[in-house]
Amino acid sequence: MEPVPVLSIAGFDPAAGAGILADIRVFNALGLYGMAVVTAVTAQNTAEITGVYPLEGDTVTTQIETLITDIPPAAAKTGMLASEAAVGTVAAFAIEGRLGRLVVDPVIVSSSGAGLADEGTAGALRETLLGCCELVTPNLGEAGLLSGIEVVDRESAMAAAQVMRKLGAAGVCITGGHWPGAPTDLLVTAEESTFLEGKRIGGERAYHGTGCLFSAAIAAYMALGESTGASVRKAKKLTEAALRGSIRPGKGMAIPWMGFGLNRETSETNL
């Protein structure tokens, strides 16, 4: 049986902690056929980002068109889109239904605090791409930028999620890694509004690429036919396992890591 194809549309991190290299690592670990379209090239390591070089919109369009004409993905996820033009390109393919089930990780600011998008990108995400996705996975700051509501507690998180749903997102998962205490995520879909409790593994901002891993895993489980709720819950377990097995290849933040022999159902790894 051929592996299910799933697509990452994101930036290139040479250190492989985040972006398309991290996404492909997740797809392959779960037994899917991982594919990637590059939206930007970065100069970075585990400690800092020294440059972000967005690709032209036409370059992104040609990559996607050429790829999916040959291999249509069952699901796709976006990461750093880097420009308003790239957002519009992805939205156009999504509106045509050519990307499969779409997860939008609205990467605007890196874990280290570096800006990863131009000024029009957040507006374009809000106005065009939210209406095309099955799930959007902002962190607290990104949820505030997309909704216009500062997220400081559960009540404001719920209000922000409802705004994003009104903007067209079928589902919203506000990730809680930056909350003090336990990292509690908020999942809001047509079927449920639930706070998903998590376990704090290490300190806030101790890891690089956690959001990429989480959203990539959600897209992978969606490609395998899981519901939005089940995909989020399984991805959360996988992310916690990867954090427990994290490695530190450089001098900066740790990288969540998955051992070989990943079990799709339990999200446990041979670490």
The CATH number that applies at residue 171 is: 3.40.1190.20
Neighbours of 223 (CB within 10 A): 26
- Name residue 85's amino acid: A
Q: Which pLDDT score is estimated for 79?
A: 96
Residue 137 near residue 173, CB atoms below 8 Å: yes
Residue 253 near residue 112, CB atoms below 8 Å: yes
Question: Coil, strand, or helix at residue 255?
Answer: strand
Residue 261 near residue 209, CB atoms below 8 Å: no
Name residue 101's beta-bridge partners.
75
Q: Distance between CA atoms of 241 and 235, rounded to whole angstroms?
A: 10
Residue 7 near residue 77, CB atoms below 8 Å: yes
Question: Is residue 111 assigned to a domain?
Answer: yes
- Name residue 239's amino acid: T
Question: Is residue 256 assigned to a domain?
Answer: no
Domain with 237, as residue range(s), is 5-244
Of the candidates 231, 236, 247, 136, the one whose C-alpha atom is nearest the C-alpha of residue 177 is: 236
Question: Is residue 158 assigned to a domain?
Answer: yes
Token digits for 227? 């519901």
Question: Is residue 69 assigned to a domain?
Answer: yes
Question: How many Cα atoms are found within 13 Å in the side-chain-facing hemisphere of 30?
Answer: 33
Residue 11 near residue 42, CB atoms below 8 Å: yes
How many structural domains compose the chain?
Answer: 1
Question: Is residue 257 assigned to a domain?
Answer: no
235-258, pLDDT tens digit by residue? 999 999 999 999 999 999 999 998
Q: Is the pLDDT of residue 270 over 70?
A: no
Q: Which pLDDT score is estimated for 179?
A: 81
Question: Is residue 267 assigned to a domain?
Answer: no
Of the candidates 220, 225, 204, 227, the one whose C-alpha atom is nearest the C-alpha of residue 258 is: 220
45-98, pLDDT tens digit by residue? 999 999 999 999 999 999 999 999 999 999 999 999 988 999 999 999 999 999
Instruction: List strands edge to edge, sheet with 101-104.
Output: 49-54, 33-44, 5-12, 75-78, 101-104, 135-136, 172-174, 185-188, 193-196
Write down the pTM of the prediction. Answer: 0.93
Question: Is residue 270 assigned to a domain?
Answer: no
Question: Is residue 251 assigned to a domain?
Answer: no
89-137, pLDDT tens digit by residue? 999 999 999 999 999 999 986 554 445 566 688 889 999 999 999 999 9
